[in-house]
């Protein structure tokens, strides 16, 4: 894997600052927010300077029960080509559920949700990853995600799950140490054990980010400073393997550029601390081996009957480990040998019944989170409530970004109005559609929009709801209702 160095997530709000930051070797962009034909001037200038740009997808849903959508894969491949990227990345997550596979309503999560660590889910994920690999022009790396909830009946730890995924598909791993910390707080999982079990040689790069504690859980917000425990996990990882790249993620609540630069330097320090630990550990090992070899040599000179000729092969056998360490080339693991190439372990086609089982479980969970249906058996009801509120808050925040006029028009009433809307109205498309649906409900239900605000919201909605609809359509009915009001 090529060395990437130290990077930062490129966002429009900090584009100018990123260009001026010293020591930025590469940036990562949200793939779905990048238009190939209209790259931001800042990204163009960074690429002209030789800064690597990596597209990071959030909407593919590789952990979902259905096979990856061909259009989404083509769009990700196009972005990789336009940006000249050495790889693309996505998440080990599902983001939608339902539909024909399960004969249930199709639902969008609007955010990343964890897949169950079961054999069924792993089989589906492996096949989906292979489909994506075949469709992409560059290698794929997939990221471990943060979770507020745990699936009942899981069969593997996170490290075991990731190891098998990499071993069976040759996919690279994007390890988010902030997500390891989140899962430690929220699910009691040991980050050190996860690092013990990971195929470290499969790591493409590492994410680092901040979060906050609320409702008794840790939220991976990407909007707060990186806490010390996350940096400690990064140091632990860097003491085991030299990560090809490390990237700071920050999505909102951006501080001054000097603060971001200081945080990047703190991340570099954490990596250097890990590298120093690795050197110390190696020196200790070499010293221990040397002492053991010297002791074995002295014993060999005495011989079994006190002879000084070593009694044959005793000394040679004792010295073999030292010579092997000194001259033998490293032997790559299965994952290292197969990364970026056909997997040595075959990935058979997944039966539709397996996909259906996974799909039904995911649809039941997502319906409980966004549509208020009963919580599936075995889940923590309190945590389901926390996750549901987090999803609604995420929707409110993203809609405010894609339709910034709405929080301006509604002021302090925007957030409570949107959260009330979200409780009874699951997403039925992307965030722009969600914004249209929200304004439609506000206009039809009355408060909080009155007077001038109502007129401006009506104009906003009519301007964005497409061409004049047929008289019998839902849009026509809404339009007539707006005119009457």
Rounded CA-CA distance 88/79 in Å is 9
Q: List strand residue ranges (DSSP E) for 80-133, in order.
A: 88-91, 94-99, 104-113
**Spatial separation of the C-alpha atoms in residues 365 and 135, rounded to whole Å:** 30
Q: Which residues, 6+ apart, have CB-to-CB distance to 355 below 8 Å?
A: 65, 66, 101, 124
Q: How far apart are CA 81 and CA 34, in angstroms?
A: 12
Question: Based on the number of CB atoms within 10 Å of its own CB, is 178 exposed (0-12), middle (13-18) or buried (19 or more)?
Answer: buried
> How far is residue 184's CA from residue 190's CA, in Å, rounded to a whole number?
6
Beta-carbon contacts of 247 under 8 Å, excluding residues fewer than 6 positions away, are: 4, 6, 7, 8, 9, 26, 28, 205, 206, 207, 208
Q: What are phi and psi of 35, to 5 degrees?
A: -100, 115
Whether a cis peptide bond, with omega within 30° of 0, leads into 448 is yes
Eight-class DSSP state of 31: G
What is the CA angle 239-58-400, rounded to 5? 115
Cα separation, 415 vs 407, in Å, equals 8
Fill in the DSSP letter of residue 305: T
What is the full DSSP assignment across 232-292? HHHHHHHHHS--SEEEE---SS---HHHHHHHHHHHHHHHHHHHHHHHHHHHHHHHHHHHH
CB distance 335 to 141 below 8 Å:
no
Contact 10, 43 (CB under 8 A): yes
Query: What local confidence, expressed as pLDDT, does residue 449 receive?
Result: 63
Q: Are 111 and 77 in contact (CB under 8 A)?
A: no
- Nearest residue to 17 (alpha-carbon basis) of 187, 298, 271, 256: 256
Secondary structure of residue 87 in the 3-state scheme: coil
How big is the CA angle at 353 (ends 352 and 354), to the nearest 5 degrees? 90
Map 380-432 to HEC letters.
Answer: CHHHHHHHHHHHHHHHHHHHHHHCCHHHHHHHHHHHHHHHHHHHHCCECCCHH
Of 131, 144, 77, 151, nearest to 387 by C-alpha is 151
Residue 140: C-alpha distances to residues 15, 22, 47, 76, 276 (Å):
26, 28, 21, 11, 30
This prediction has a pTM of 0.83
Task: Please give the Cα distance from 138 to 88 (Å, whole number).
Answer: 7
Per-residue CA distances from 86 to 92, 99, 206, 242, 264 (Å): 20, 35, 15, 19, 23
128 touches 97 (CB < 8 A):
no
Reading the chain (485 residues) residue by residue, the pLDDT tens digits are 679 999 999 999 999 999 999 999 999 999 999 988 899 999 999 999 999 999 999 999 999 999 999 999 999 999 999 999 999 999 999 999 999 999 999 999 999 999 999 999 999 999 999 999 999 999 999 999 999 999 999 999 999 999 999 999 999 999 999 999 999 999 999 999 999 999 999 999 999 999 999 888 999 999 999 999 999 999 999 999 999 999 999 999 999 999 999 999 999 999 999 999 999 988 988 888 888 888 888 887 776 554 444 444 343 333 333 233 233 333 333 443 333 443 444 445 788 999 999 999 999 999 999 999 999 999 999 999 999 999 999 999 999 999 999 999 999 999 999 999 998 899 988 899 999 999 999 998 866 667 888 899 999 999 998 765 434 445 545 554 544 44
Torsion sign across C-alpha atoms 333, 337, 339, 344:
negative
Is residue 134 within 8 Å of 371, Cβ to Cβ? no
> Residue 156: CB partners within 8 Å, gap ≥ 6?
117, 118, 122, 164
Nearest to 10 by CA among 113, 112, 83: 83
Rg (CA), the chain: 27
Collect all residues with Cβ–Cβ distance below 8 Å to 163 and sequence separation of at least 6: 197, 198, 199, 335
φ, ψ at 90 (rounded to 5°): -145, -170
């Amino acid at each position: 894997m090529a060395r990437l160095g130290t990077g930062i997530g490129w966002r429009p709000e900090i584009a100018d600052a990123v260009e001026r930051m010293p020591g930025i070797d590469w940036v990562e962009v949200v793939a779905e927010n990048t238009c190939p034909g209209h790259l931001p001037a800042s990204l163009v200038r960074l690429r002209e300077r030789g800064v690597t740009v990596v597209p990071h997808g959030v909407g593919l849903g590789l952990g979902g029960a259905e096979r990856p959508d061909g259009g989404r894969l083509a769009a990700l491949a196009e972005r990789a080509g336009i940006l000249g990227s050495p790889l693309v990345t996505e998440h080990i997550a599902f983001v939608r559920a339902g539909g024909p596979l399960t004969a249930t309503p199709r639902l969008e999560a609007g955010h990343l949700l964890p897949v169950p660590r079961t054999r069924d889910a792993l089989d589906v994920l492996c096949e989906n990853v292979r489909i994506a690999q075949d469709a992409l022009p560059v290698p794929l790396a997939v990221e471990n995600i943060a979770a507020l909830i745990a699936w009942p009946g899981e069969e593997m730890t996170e490290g075991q799950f990731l190891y098998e995924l990499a071993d069976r598909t040759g996919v690279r791993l994007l390890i988010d140490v902030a997500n390891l910390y989140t899962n430690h707080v929220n699910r009691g999982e040991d980050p050190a054990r996860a690092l013990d079990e990971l195929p470290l040689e499969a790591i493409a790069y590492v994410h680092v980010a901040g979060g906050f504690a609320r409702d008794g859980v840790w939220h991976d917000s990407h909007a707060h400073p990186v806490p010390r425990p996350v940096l400690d996990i990064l140091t632990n990882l860097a003491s085991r393997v030299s990560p090809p790249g490390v990237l700071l993620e920050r999505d909102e609540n951006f501080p001054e550029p000097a603060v971001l630069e200081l945080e990047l330097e703190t991340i570099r320090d954490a990596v250097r601390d890990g590298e120093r630990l690795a050197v110390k550990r190696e020196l200790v090992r070499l010293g221990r081996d040397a002492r053991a070899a010297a002791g074995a040599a002295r014993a060999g000179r005495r011989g079994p009957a006190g002879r000084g000729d070593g009694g044959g092969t005793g000394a040679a056998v004792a010295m073999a480990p030292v010579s092997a360490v000194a001259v033998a080339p490293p032997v790559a693991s299965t994952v290292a040998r197969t990364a970026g190439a056909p997997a040595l372990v075959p990935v058979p086609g997944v039966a539709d019944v397996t996909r259906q089982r996974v799909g039904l479980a995911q649809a039941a969970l997502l319906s409980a989170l966004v549509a208020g249906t009963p919580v599936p058996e075995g889940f923590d009801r309190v945590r389901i409530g926390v996750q549901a509120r987090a999803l609604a808050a995420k929707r409110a925040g993203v809609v405010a970004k894609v339709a910034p006029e709405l929080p301006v028009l509604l002021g302090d009433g925007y957030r409570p109005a949107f959260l009330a809307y979200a409780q009874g109205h699951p997403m039925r498309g992307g965030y722009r559609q969600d914004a249209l649906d929200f304004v439609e409900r506000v206009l039809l239900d009355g408060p909080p929009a009155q007077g001038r605000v109502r007129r401006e919201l009506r104009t906003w909605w009519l301007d964005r709801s497409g061409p004049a609809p047929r008289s019998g359509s839902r849009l026509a009915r809404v339009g007539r209702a707006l005119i009457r009001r």
